[in-house]
Structure 1
């Protein structure tokens, strides 16, 4: 972590950022990532339906 000193003696820490990855044109989301996105969307819709049902 990079630490700098500000006015008044305060320290400010900056996180080390990860390297950027360049994706090839043929690379897309994997099957497991797609399943996670679909499962999360279904969960959100169910939670909204429960909230509407309660109110």
Structure 2
């Protein structure tokens, strides 16, 4: 673990930084999956709201 020694012999630890990389653009398949996921979540939320209104 990287550290430095300060005045009086105290150690100062630093976190290990993760490797930085550039994100890749989404593929067509990933875009379709994301759209299906968003659609499913919206349908689920609308259904739960309908149930809540029906019960009340």
TM-score (norm 1): 0.52
Q: How many equivalent residue pairs?
A: 39
Deviation at 1:21, TM superposition (A): 6.5
Task: Look at both structures and tell me which one has the larger radius of gyration over its CA atoms.
Answer: 2
Deviation at 1:28, TM superposition (A): 1.1
CA distance in 2, matches of 1:39, 1:33: 10
Partner of 1:48: 45
Alignment RMSD: 2.4
Q: Which has the higher helix share?
A: 2
- Which of structure 1's runs of 4+ aligned residues deviate more than 6 A? none
Deviation at 1:49, TM superposition (A): 0.3
TM-score (norm 2): 0.51
**Structure 1 stretches lacking a partner, 5+ long:** 1-19
Q: Within 5 Å, give how 1:27-46 maps onto structure 2.
A: 27-46=24-43
